[in-house]
Amino acid sequence: MTIRVAAVGLGWVAQNRHLPVMDRSDRFEVVGVIDRRADRARDVAHARKYRHHTCTDTLGTVDWLDEVDAVTIATAPMAHHALAAEALALGKHVLTEKPFTMTSAEGTDLLARAEAAGRQLAIVHNFQFARSMKALFADLAGGRLGTMTGIDAVQFGNPNRRLPDWCDDLPFGLFYDESPHLLYLLRAVAGEIELARAFKIASTTGLRTPARVEAWFHGGPNGCPVRLACNFESPISEWYLMVAGSDGYGIVDIFRDVYIRLPNDGRHDTARVLRTSFAATTRHWLQHITSGIPHLTGRLNYGNAELFDRFASGIAGDAAAMSPISAASAHAVLKLQHAILDRAEDLYL
């Protein structure tokens, strides 16, 4: 079964991730594209040879939607709830970008609408399917890290990198847009977690995005600590998921799609320090062959290919395939976001 799709919102993510993945898949056919900018909708449709394009911010005026089975949403987050609700009301399956919605109540509403409509509602939580994350999961399953002793998701964000112009209109600005990635990765490793305590340091440049956000969670395996730490005023942009164990340390370099496992260095003598250095640098550069070349050629999709395949399988009735990208998973991450927003303590140094 080929799933016929209308793609709504044609920013960088849609054009560089969603559309290329669907065009390369034999499970999807992009019938048309929709955007608030008429020139962008027209240009993308012509460039990618889609049949239809429409300039609108609502689905009710799109006269060719009867030709599609599903809608993908990659608009600004403020529009997610309204567009997803419209699509579900029209009988379409929906895959929406993160963050899921702007409020927990909106998320609850979409879950109810999807169930009532009998349609799949999924979220783009893609990095959990990246090659580097799969390598970490394999080490955890094989016991190669030993007993888990801590999990950290760490973000460094350079405010000068490419960012959507709507980011600072969100609650906590960029944190609201980007934290879902780190939160669903923490949940993928730790399972269900609950906020214990959160802190924030205000922007030094007057932005809504805080300079720093840090959160600690209950619920890690063996009661181990689980932490999220974000620095939005960094001179570099790096994202890491790090899992400490009794026998080793697993580090996922999210942006480069690189995974490194470092052994326990025991007494930290010279020989062991050199062994750690050799392991870290060798594994890092070797994986640039598998990740760096696709990165240079624009074909590193950070797990999006599997995510879209799971969405297709979910539409075909495979509930297990949908589980990590389900609306329930989206809502769980959304509730963690709002717990941080509501409870973050101002930290003054």
Where do the domains of the chain lie?
Answer: 3-119, 128-302+339-343
Within 8 A by CB and 6+ apart from 248, the residues are 139, 144, 145, 146, 261, 262, 263, 264
Query: In the chain, which ranges are continuous DSSP H helix?
Result: 12-13, 19-24, 38-48, 80-89, 104-117, 131-141, 174-190, 270-287, 293-297, 304-315, 319-322, 327-343
- Residue entry with tokens 């923490």: 186
- pLDDT tens digits, the chain, 349 residues: what are they? 899 999 999 999 999 999 999 999 999 999 999 999 999 999 999 999 999 999 999 999 999 999 999 999 999 999 999 999 999 999 999 999 999 999 999 999 999 999 999 999 999 999 999 999 999 999 999 999 999 999 999 999 999 988 888 999 999 999 999 999 999 999 999 999 999 999 999 999 999 999 999 999 999 998 999 999 999 999 999 999 999 999 999 999 999 999 999 999 999 999 888 988 988 898 888 887 777 677 666 777 999 999 999 999 999 999 999 999 999 999 999 999 999 999 999 987 6
Q: Give the CB-side neighbour count of residue 201, counting CA atoms within 13 A.
A: 12
11, 20, 16, 22: which is closest to 309 by C-alpha? 22
Closest-CA residue to 179 (of 134, 148, 217, 222): 217
Task: Please answer whether residues 94 and 28 qualify as being in contact, where contact means their C-beta atoms are separated by less than 8 angstroms.
Answer: no
CATH homologous superfamily for the domain 128-302+339-343 = Dihydrodipicolinate Reductase; domain 2 (3.30.360.10)
* CATH class (in words) of the domain with range 3-119: alpha beta
Q: What is the pTM of this model?
A: 0.96
Nearest C-alpha neighbor of 213 from the set 75, 336, 80: 336
CA 140 to centroid of chain Cα atoms:
21
